[in-house]
Chain A
Amino acid sequence: MSVATEKLSPHRGDWRRVLSPTGNFGDAIFRILMTAVAFFVVAIVVGMILTLGADSLMSIRQFGFGFLTGQQWNPVRSEFGALPFIYGTLMSSLIALLISVPFSLGIAIFLVEQAPHYLAKPVGFLVELLAAIPSVVYGLWGIFVLAPFLRVYVEPPLARHLGWLPFFQGQITGIGLLTGGIILAIMVTPIISAVVRDVLSAVPGNQREAALALGATKWEMIRVVLVNGAPGIAGAVILGLGRALGETMAVTMVIGNRAEISSSLFAPSYTIASAIANEFTEATDALYLSALVELGLILFLVTFIVNGLARVLVWNVTRKTGGLTRTA
């Protein structure tokens, strides 16, 4: 633990030198440039929130907080409630993380701790390649391969053996919340595993040697490495979560796009991003458009809150373990 805190101090010193230039002209320009770039990003975020807020004013005035709790989404009658979309977004991302986090940790541990060199490189490369596939391709693959597969081989046994749970009831079509969650899991796994792999390789070798020298088994040694990398791993999960919350095309193709809250994972659902992508082009009247923009604002806030919660979590873990400070 103390190794990690010692490593921190020269790191901090370097930053201080950059932030307080020694009268060097180049340093000054560099500092101004960097400040401008940083504020540019802040300005974009603030600008986006302001624009979304301004354009959704009409809907906010009309529905107030009822927009967040309303379960009806009926453009024909100008009734707009966002709860089914919020539910669908959070649930599909939750399913995605539940599936992909164990997988990603497994991949990363294999690549860093166990794979022989001739395997680690190509497998790592293939995993990263998965991250580069466009999401519409995932979506089409979802419709033509994944959904029929789930409909025939996965969902019927789930309904047979776990049908007493409310999650696995109802009509089986292969299209729905579960399929959306699984597609998302496949999409975020390469991102999470690539970052976790880097985090684990950054854990100093002497930690491993120390664990082994104390008589730890390989499994116990890996636990030491995981605890050290915990903040970084949490950061990787946040990154994956961000992708899952905002993913549009692939989810739209397989989630069934139905604004209804159902306890069953087989039932069709809807995410905020999908709703915006689906309905924006043909939304003609002003209140409808405004409601869609407010959905965007809510997605922004949901992402913000979820990210914030995750960061608080990371901060807590870091304090407890005192592990490496690397957060991706």
Chain B
Amino acid sequence: MPLPKRSLHLIILVGLIAIAVTLAACNPNGTNHASSGPVALQGVGATFPNPLYQKWLSEYGKLNPNIKIDYQSQGSGAGIKQIQSQLVQFGASDSPMKDADLQAAPGEILHVPTVLGAVVITYNLNAVTQPLNFSPDVVAAIFLGKITKWNDARIAADNKSVTLPNADITVVHRSDGSGTSAVFTDYLSKISPEWKDKVGTGTSPSWPIGIGGKGNEGVTGQIKNTPNTIGYVELAYAVQNKLPVAKIKNASGSFIEPTIDSVTAAAAASAGTTPDDLRVSITNAQGADVYPISSYTYILVYKDQKDPVKGKALVDFLWWGIHDGEKYAKELQYAPLPADIVKRAEGKINSIVSQGKALR
């Protein structure tokens, strides 16, 4: 008979729910109310700098065992949302906050740049072993769907020594909202009026053509497994996975390979035009050895800290990050800040106050 069995199941279910409810009720009381002991800071934000920030937290934790910092990589959107609603002590975002978002926040938010990242173009062409060269207008035309064949005369013009196959180009782009897409489309908008007009800049733009892969690993997976594809990923990801990367012609007319140095060079070259609040796009920067598709990533903090103890811990951590922390950047394939920008970031950190008093 089905009935006794059914009620037995219900009893087990009720038991499980009861246990779950009890556990849920007990847990928060146990852990959260320890304000007198160690200082706890919470941050939420971009996924791109997450490996570096985790390294920072573990290294900084060794030096300062009584400061507990937690960083959750939920995405730049979450970072901005949660710093606006003051749920966390710091947010993190790959692109600077918009004016409207800054005004919506209850206090003045500072942008502290931490490191730089770059976006590289990678591809799958069996017969081609040497790195391909791309001019900006060619990149735009491929991603607009205007150039559809690998042996198109415009691609061949930049790659005279390479035999390109007579094959259809398959474009692969990110399907998830991503700072990587934002940097790449920001670059395309700067170099192609048609791109700016038709697509524009965004974390999830409406791609004119191509298939979407989830995350750097999804894009890479589809490129590795499909011949004649082209796509873009983060520099760090491409280096770690030894992907073929294209040289891009920069604003000064030279084809530049994406490296940590050519990315830092892009930041240094645009330091003169970087505004006071450090919110800036450094794609397509001028300069002979500059790689043109790169950007800062930021930590977002309130200028006026409510809690002086937490504020002091936060300021010390940021100071450590842009000085001692920078040495961990290279080994994780992030480009460290150029010296000028470190100076200006210092100014930002020094301006943080709590209850009218400077914290450093």
Contacts and interface: CB of A to CB of B under 8 A. Distances in A.
Given A37-B14, A281-B74, A282-B76, A76 B226 contact: no
Nearest to A252: B214
Contacts of A282: 75-77, 176-179, 182, 203-204
A282 B1 CA distance: 53
B127 interface: no
B201 A76 contact: yes
Nearest to B100: A285
A278 B214 contact: yes
Interface in B50-99: 74-78, 80-81, 98
Interface in A138-175: 140, 143-144, 147-148, 151, 171, 173-175
Mostly, the A contact residues are helix
A283 interface: yes
A39 interface: no
Nearest to B93: A284
Contacts of A33: 14
Contacts of B324: none
B207 interface: yes
Interface residues of B, number: 46
Nearest to A151: B226
Nearest to B76: A282
B170 interface: yes
A15 B329 CA distance: 67
A73 interface: yes
A161 to B, nearest CB: 21
A33 B200 CA distance: 57
A258 B1 CA distance: 51
Given A34-B10, A174-B226, A257 B212 contact: yes
A259 interface: yes
A283 B76 CA distance: 8
B101 A284 contact: yes
Interface stretch (B158-166, B217-225, B342-350): B217-225
Contacts of B2: 11
B136 interface: no
Contacts, number: 126
Interface in B165-219: 168, 170, 175-179, 182, 185, 199-207, 210-214, 218
Contact of A283 (B98, B204, B214): B204
Given A140-B221, A171-B168, A257-B175, A281 B214 contact: no
Interface residues of A, number: 42
Contacts of B75: 280-282
B182 to A, nearest CB: 8
Contacts of A274: 175
Given A77-B200, A173-B170, A175-B222, A258 B80 contact: no
B35 interface: no
A14 interface: yes
Contact of A279 (B81, B98, B176, B200): B176
Contacts of B14: 33-34, 37
B3 interface: yes
Contact of A173 (B1, B206, B207, B226): B226
Given A253-B214, A279-B177, A283-B77, A75 B203 contact: yes
14 contacts: A11-B1, A75-B202, A147-B226, A171-B170, A257-B211, A258-B207, A258-B210, A278-B175, A278-B214, A279-B177, A281-B77, A282-B76, A282-B204, A284-B77
Across the A-B interface, the 6 shortest Cβ-Cβ residue pairs = A282-B177, A281-B75, A257-B212, A257-B175, A74-B206, A76-B202
Interface of B: 1-3, 7, 10, 13-14, 17, 47, 74-78, 80-81, 98, 101, 168, 170, 175-179, 182, 185, 199-207, 210-214, 218, 221-222, 225-226
Given A252-B214, A257-B211, 18 more contacts: A10-B1, A37-B14, A75-B205, A76-B199, A144-B221, A173-B170, A174-B226, A175-B222, A253-B213, A259-B206, A280-B75, A280-B177, A281-B74, A282-B176, A282-B178, A282-B182, A283-B204, A284-B77
